[in-house]
Amino acid sequence: MEAVSGLDLSGMFNDWIYSKGHASYANARWNNVGNKAVLFLPQTAVSADSSHFDMPIVIRFKRTSPVADTTIVLFDKGRNLYRVNNGVLSSPSGGTLIQVTLPFTPMTVEFDPFAEILAVPNTVTNTATNPFTYTIPVIAKDPAIALLATRVVDFTAQKEGKNARISWSVEQSQDYNAFEIERSTNGTVFEKIGNQTAAQNNGARNFNYTDVNIPAGIVYYRIKVIEKDGNNFYTKIASINNKVQESFVV
């Protein structure tokens, strides 16, 4: 299978063939502002040898009047959510929150609407009168989940020589305590490389951080935003391609 697909399938076999248990997304929530929706999809491993199952997630957004729906496929890899487009994973979202822009304002959100994955909260029942009935789970809407775009207005990473300049801005700086800058060389495992205290004055504020002598290859950055109320969230992920010029001596 690996020879034909060109993919490393060891993770799939370790999770789903050689191990036991299954994944649960029973705490999934969503919210929206107009056609911008944010999904919170934390996974819990149930009766499992593994602490996490890397797996696809199918989500359907629906509107009843006028009727409209859109189905998206995500991939939960190491507790980071990715968009899937024609089998290709996008840049990771930076955690269990992911934001999407839809062609309409959604009214309901369904989890695994076509019964394609093994995960709670989907339920299949089999009775004599109604064999193999599938109940489509509806994800609860949670107004407490804020859209990323309404919290951090902008977040960018730009290469400047051997360094990276990280820039971000917020609309209301008085709502935050601090910003932790995190870096990754694989887009999955991040480490803290810096910290900035939020300004105490009201209103919009711009922030900058310089990462000196960045590693070779593709480098990923995100900001862990620590709020005054003790909550925290992550920005989207920005990346820099720091290619190394190879030289040859003849």
Asked whether the bond before 121 is cis by omega within 30 degrees of 0, the reply is: yes
Q: What is the pTM of this model?
A: 0.55
Scanning the structure block, which residue is given the tokens 């991939």?
75
Predicted local confidence at residue 6, as pLDDT = 55
- The CATH fold of domain 148-242: Immunoglobulin-like (2.60.40)
C-alpha pair distances (Å), 142 with each of 6, 40, 113, 120, 182: 40, 9, 20, 19, 28
Q: 30: Cβ–Cβ under 8 A, 6 or more apart, which residues?
A: 37, 38, 39, 40, 109, 139, 140, 141, 142, 145
Domain segments of the chain: what residues?
2-141, 148-242
Q: Is 96 within 8 Å of 43 (Cβ atoms)?
A: yes
The rounded distance, in Å, linking the Cα atoms of 241 and 42 is 30
Q: List per-block mean pLDDT (blocks of 10 residues) for the chain, which spans 250 residues.
A: 57 70 86 86 80 87 94 87 75 73 91 78 48 69 67 81 92 82 89 88 84 93 83 82 59
Q: Is 74 within 8 Å of 45 (Cβ atoms)?
A: no
C-alpha pair distances (Å), 71 with each of 56, 181, 242: 13, 33, 35
Predicted local confidence at residue 153, as pLDDT = 61
